Each structure stands twice: as C-alpha cells, then as structure tokens.
Amino acid sequence: MKRLLNGWLLMACAGLAMAHGPHAAHEHGVAELRVAIAGAEVEISFETPLDNLVGFEHEPRNDRQRKALQEALEAVGAFERLFGLPAAAGCAMVDVAVEAPFGSQDHHGHAHGHAGVSAVYTLKCATPAALDVLQVKVFDVFSRTRQIRAERLSPRGQTAVTLRSKQADLPL
Ligand SMILES: [Zn+2]
C-alpha cells in the first residue's frame, strides 16, 4: 500500500510544484486529500489539522474535550462517515491507518502548538471502471473545515482541485 503513495510523491516532486507536502505547516480550516487509483486498488490519504475536527490542538484538558477527540477519531477511522465511493465499483476496505496525537501511537509532532490527524484508507474494488467520483462528506461531519486541497492520480490522469462544502465531490 505504500507503493501507490510513493509513486505519487515521486511524481509530485518531479512534476508539479507542490506548495504543500505531508509535513508542511498546516492551515486551520484546510485539509488535504490524496487519492491514488492503480488497477483494483484505491488508496486515499486524508490529513487535517486537529483544530478542524475539535476546535483545539492541545492535549484534552477535561472530559468534554476528551470525548470530542475520541468521537472525532472514531469518525476519521470510519471511511463511510467521511467519504463515499460508487456502489457499482464494489469497493471493500482492506486497511485503515489513523495517526493521531496524544495517544500511545503519537507519530505526529505537535511542536509549535499544532497537532494534526492523518488517515490512509486502502480499498480494493471489483469494478474499478465504475470509480467516477469520490463523495466527500468531511464538511458535514467537521464543519470547521472550509476547504480541502485534493489531488487525484488515476488512469485518467493527475489533477489537483480545491473542494468546498458546496462543491465537495472529487472527480476520479
Ligand atoms: Zn494548528
């Protein structure tokens, strides 16, 4: 599953001038989405400032904040809460990997008062030809999200678009 994103990053470095990379400083209200399709395999990478999800980026200080963080991470871990693929494509989840701060698996630095959450979803689709659009429901679930910088790499080519709540679908 690393394979697809590695290819993506190589292409990105060689070709497009990407102002934002996986480890660039984040901007509140803005999230990033990368979709790579190769054969039957779809890999979707979602990165968001924690502020977009819960309105804070420090370690939870009370039960309300702990609950908010827990619920947010549950939503991020549930692909179908945030995204939708065409039923005709017959996609099944292969793997979900969520990285979040303040836990035992704290891979994300939160120096400078910032913290982010990232997830990589890997799916396998029975009919990849039916993959025409990725429905993005992030704006409904996490209303602090104003825009999502989305990139798509598929047999139809490589594109980058900015999604907003009124225009939330990513053509594949
Ligand atoms: Zn931040």
Domain boundaries, the chain: 2-171
Kindly give the distance from the C-alpha atom of residue 119 to the centroid of ligand 1, in angstroms, as a whole number: 17
Could you read off the pLDDT of 5-14 as tens digits, one per residue?
555 544 444 3
| Mean pLDDT value of segment 153-166 | 95
Phi/psi for 121 (5° steps) reads -110, 130
* Confidence bin at 25 (pLDDT 50/70/90): confident
Q: Is the pLDDT of residue 2 over 60?
A: no
Q: Please list all protein residues whose beta carbon sits less than 5 angstroms from ligand 1, which is an ion.
A: 49, 57, 114
Kindly give the distance from the C-alpha atom of residue 105 to the centroid of ligand 1, in angstroms, as a whole number: 19
Q: What is the pLDDT of residue 94?
A: 97
* β-strand partners of 54: none
Across the beta sheet with 30-38, the strand order is: 91-99, 116-125, 41-49, 30-38, 147-154, 157-163
Kindly give the distance from the C-alpha atom of residue 9 to the centroid of ligand 1, in angstroms, as a whole number: 23
Kindly give the distance from the C-alpha atom of residue 69 to the centroid of ligand 1, in angstroms, as a whole number: 15
Q: What is the pLDDT of residue 7?
A: 52
With a CB cutoff of 8 Å and minimum separation 6, the contacts of 25 are: 114
38/4 Cα distance (integer angstroms)? 7
Could you read off the pLDDT of 38-80 as tens digits, one per residue?
999 999 999 999 999 999 999 999 999 999 999 999 999 999 9
- Closest Cα partner for 162 from 13, 5, 69, 29? 29
97/6 Cα distance (integer angstroms)? 16
| Mean pLDDT value of segment 16-22 | 41
- Relative to beta strand 30-38, strand 147-154 is parallel
Rounded to 5°, angle at Cα 30 from 106 and 141: 80
| Mean pLDDT value of segment 80-106 | 90
Q: What tokens were used for 34?
A: 């990368």
Kindly give the distance from the C-alpha atom of residue 133 to the centroid of ligand 1, in angstroms, as a whole number: 30
Q: What is the pLDDT of residue 111?
A: 53
| Mean pLDDT value of segment 78-86 | 98
Could you read off the pLDDT of 107-147 as tens digits, one per residue?
555 455 789 999 999 999 999 999 999 999 999 999 999 99
Q: What is the pLDDT of residue 102?
A: 87
Kindly give the distance from the C-alpha atom of residue 30 to the centroid of ligand 1, in angstroms, as a whole number: 10
| Mean pLDDT value of segment 82-110 | 84
Question: How far is it between the farthest Cα atoms of the chain?
Answer: 48
Kindly give the distance from the C-alpha atom of residue 26 to the centroid of ligand 1, in angstroms, as a whole number: 6
With a CB cutoff of 8 Å and minimum separation 6, the contacts of 149 are: 20, 30, 31, 32, 33, 160, 162, 163
Kindly give the distance from the C-alpha atom of residue 37 to the centroid of ligand 1, in angstroms, as a whole number: 30
Residue 47 CB coordination number (10 Å): 23
Kindly give the distance from the C-alpha atom of residue 126 to the centroid of ligand 1, in angstroms, as a whole number: 38
Q: What is the pLDDT of residue 70?
A: 96
Residue at 27: amino acid letter: E
Q: What is the pLDDT of residue 24?
A: 55
